[in-house]
Amino acid sequence: MAALIPLTASAAPFAAHVMDGRTGKEIYSQNANARLHPASLTKMMTLYMAFTAIERGQVRLDSRFTVTKHAAGQPPSRLGLRAGQQIELRYLIRAAAVKSANDAATAIGEGLAGSEARFGQQMTAMARALGMSNTTFRNANGLTQDGHYSTARDMSVLGRRLFYDFPQYYSIFSRRSADAGIATVASTNKRFLDSYQGADGIKTGYTRAAGFNLTASAQRGSKRIIATVMGGQSTAQRNAVMAQLLDTGFGKAPARVKEIRPEPPEYMVERKRSVQVARSAPPVPSPVAARPVRGSTVPLEPERRQATAPAPAQAAPVVAQASVGSARPARRPAAAAAAAAAPVRLAAADPAAVEAAVAGAIVDASRPAPAPRSGPAAMAKAPRTPGSTFVAAAAPKQDAAPSAGTRLAASDKPVRKSDTVILAAMEEEGDRSEPEAVEIVSRPSTRGRGNHGITLGRYKTKAEAEQLLLRTALQESAVLNNANRHVGNTPKGWEANFSGLTRDAANLACEKLAARSQRCKVLGN
């Protein structure tokens, strides 16, 4: 099943970030602002843009997108779309979110913006509006491309935004499988969802340049923790690191805290335009997203989540959407069905872009409409009026490429290791089956500052020593965050060591560890 490949292994740069999901407060970080390849974590923004367009009334879940040759030609992982094929947006969303299908993500971007390049500009502009200052997107699926980068911190911010801004769609990220129209697809994140208590999303990512990435969210009791790992060495190692990060987050986050909801991004600006609407079509709905209120039933996913009631908003009621997870769209009149078949585009960053107007939105009267709220779609300062449309603000020019001194962290320079790594055969790009390493190989940090160290003793396996080092580094991050982690191969076992500490730091670390009954000895002159 797996080829045994002895490697002088190269590895993508590693980064991690942990936040309290309720407040956005950082709990732990390591290289969290390093600009790295996000791989398919990119699809979180693609889906955020799709949800925004749906809630603004620009498209519906049953809007049919035509697949281009470019979208159909994307490398695996893919749904298997064919050029010229028409497919409902709901199925593209499921394929991108659950299977991480590259062709589906590209079809979403092209269907919303007209081209993937233009969609990348809109994604970048939205990233800035969300506070993701170190992110630039070039494509909708995350395949490696010059100038396409993000950070662990920015991806955690985006994961939190998906949770708060689109609670009605969030449960798609916890699905183990989904009907994507032409096939039933399985989740790339199933292993972690099944193994970690309270995990309910969000997204995996893998390319050779990026390594194994994951943004995860989990809830236990009143606490919600969101974390990102970038540059993992295998699915198993990445998931193990993520479990440690989330455990640390749950351990350090206070039980009671005032929830701080993120403010809606100021991304859309209103421009007066004449919009022609067919007489038989109902008026275009207000671009205000709906957030479920406490105790309400949201007719969007079989696996529902109730959200706490937000602050009241002065907004017009919105059109109820069919479920991302439902198998069939709601019935609608023939005139509206014909209108839905017309191509629909997300308003482009270019002021001269084609207008987006949907003239056939249908309210499913058999289901209660969610209560109106202020959210990511309610982005204009003035209410929308008939005869006006909303267009995306242009992406900042400086985002076209990283500025001097902030280049994409290199991942093509191998980091030499003496270990022989047994890896399953890796494919070219994308979220495939995510080949898994039999042996976990640690990546030591490189920011030590002294000539002392500590040893935590010897252990039977290298993996046991590495897990102890990681757990200890997280638990005692204030003292050990800048230390080098190293596992030594001795005749008596695998020795777990920290190095690069000052004498005082080494003594303090051993005192703290001894208080928790952990073996510890200071090393050095």
517 annotated active-site? no
- The secondary structure of residue 350, as a DSSP letter, is S
Cis amide prior to 202 (ω within 30 degrees):
yes
Catalytic residue among 43, 203, 223, 462: 43
* Tokens at 509, concatenated: 């670390």
Rounded Cα distance, 74 and 108, in Å: 13
Catalytic residue among 63, 77, 100, 187: 100
222 annotated active-site? no
Catalytic residue among 40, 171, 323, 499: 40
CA neighbor of 266 nearest in space, from 390, 419, 167: 390
Looking at the DSSP bridge assignments, the partners of residue 120 are none
* Cβ contacts of 324 within 8 Å, gap of 6 or more: 61, 90, 93, 94, 169, 172, 300, 301
With tokens 């398919």, the residue in question is 40
CA neighbor of 318 nearest in space, from 262, 362, 267: 362
Gap between the terminal Cα atoms of the chain = 49
Looking at the DSSP bridge assignments, the partners of residue 390 are 270
Query: What are the Cα distances from residue 495, in Å, to 166, 205, 228, 458, 460?
Result: 47, 32, 28, 4, 9
Helices (H) and strands (E) in the chain, counts: 12, 15
Query: What are the Cα distances from residue 251, in Å, to 20, 152, 474?
Result: 11, 21, 11
Rounded Cα distance, 266 and 264, in Å: 6
- The secondary structure of residue 39, as a DSSP letter, is G
**Phi, psi dihedral angles at 143 (to 5 degrees):** -60, 145
296 annotated active-site? no
Active site residues: 40, 43, 100
